Amino acid sequence: MTTATAAPKGLEGIVAAETEMSFIDGEKGVLEYVGIAIDDLARHSCFEEVVYLLWNLKLPTVTELDAFKAELRGRYALPHGMLERIKRLPKDAEPMHVLRTLVSALGMHDPDPNAIDPKAARHKALNILGHTPTLIAMFDRHRKGEEIVHPDTSLSFAGNFLYMLNGERPTETMERAFDACMILHADHGLNNSTFTARVVISTLSDMYSAMTAAIGALRGPLHGGANEGVMHLLNDIASPKDVPARIEGMLERKEKIMGFGHRVYKAYDPRATYLKTLAKQLAEDTGNSALYEKSSAIEKVMEAKVAAKGIYPNVDFYSATTYHSIGLDLDLFTPMFAMSRVSGWAGHVLEQLADNRLYRPKAAYIGPHGVAYTPIGER
């Protein structure tokens, strides 16, 4: 039995919220944060400024940005007891499961975890954003048996994370590339994990629950794991000269090429434009030129074969090369996405709370009616 009007699968095309944070035109390949082109922000801004922009809907003055940076840096250190919790985690646990669990655990260190008035919600958002890099870096060093590196509040969000992760300050190129990745992943309309965060907070739950749920949504391979798939593909191809045969064969077998195509974009992903340039520079600086050359060769084959169908590289394609060149393990790629997207999730939570209505969509029932109950002895 079917309904007269079929419900769109996956809520395709349904407008479920209003936002002032990001605008997307998939046909033209446009992404703007509060009206500013993402490429301009990636080239000229910094992650902290972008977070301020998303949460306040305006660019900060020098004084406002300095104050915001100081606020965020004051949240790098974890609450008392969290490091001991990290050290008790299994070393073979998957980082996304670890991150989801630890962000949830942060709520137990908050004396008033359920407060959702504007001031309290913003305070908790800053805490989670500041703590997330520390959680990820400390777990990574714990699982490798390395000495824990505590945060350095003199460093930027991007620089401090790489310092805590690797035990040494990053090069300027590494820090800039990673900062750009954070900017590019910060927000992207009502994507699945952002929708999840808004649904949870619409019940008037709490910031920790909304962020935890969003991380769970992002962990799914149809959402946040594409750059891991890109890296697997790059690792499986021996050299750039092997690319055409491999990719053409995959296309003939109708296999998905990870990092190409997007649910929204039918043009070149605007987030990938500058990232491609940064990935090239970083690969050259870190001795990973062959990796970038393989990426470039894949793009050339795909451009010739499927660009006419609106299939172009997305942000995940060159972020894989970038993350690898920085020295990140493969299973940290999706946590990097989450670390950035906390800013967007939190912004949407603040936006939802400002004009809230409980999400309660309908489901179209397509089952039978009037079915007689059969006693158990007659079945």
Catalytic residue of the set 110, 140, 269, 316? 316
Catalytic residue of the set 262, 269, 324, 348? 262
Structure tokens at 363: 């489901």
The alpha carbon of 340 is separated from its chain's Cα centroid by a whole number of angstroms, namely 6
Q: Rounded distance, CA 214 to CA 111, Å?
A: 23
Across the beta sheet with 30-33, what order do the strands follow?
22-25, 30-33, 36-37
Using CB atoms within 10 A of its CB, is residue 244 exposed (0-12), middle (13-18) or buried (19+)? middle
**Does residue 358 come out as left (phi exceeding 0), alpha (psi in the -120 to 50 range) or beta?**
beta
Q: Rounded distance, CA 256 to CA 306, Å?
A: 12
Residue 355 makes CB contacts below 8 A (sequence gap 6+) with none
Residue 107 makes CB contacts below 8 A (sequence gap 6+) with 113, 206, 208, 209
DSSP type of residue 27: T
3-state secondary structure at position 172: helix
Looking at the chain, how many residues does it have? 379
Half-sphere exposure of 337 (CA within 13 A, CB side): 30
Is-catalytic flag, 140? no
Is-catalytic flag, 262? yes
Structure tokens at 159: 């620089």
Q: Rounded distance, CA 234 to CA 295, Å?
A: 7
Residue 21's identity, in one-letter code, is: M
Residue positions annotated with a catalytic role: 262, 316
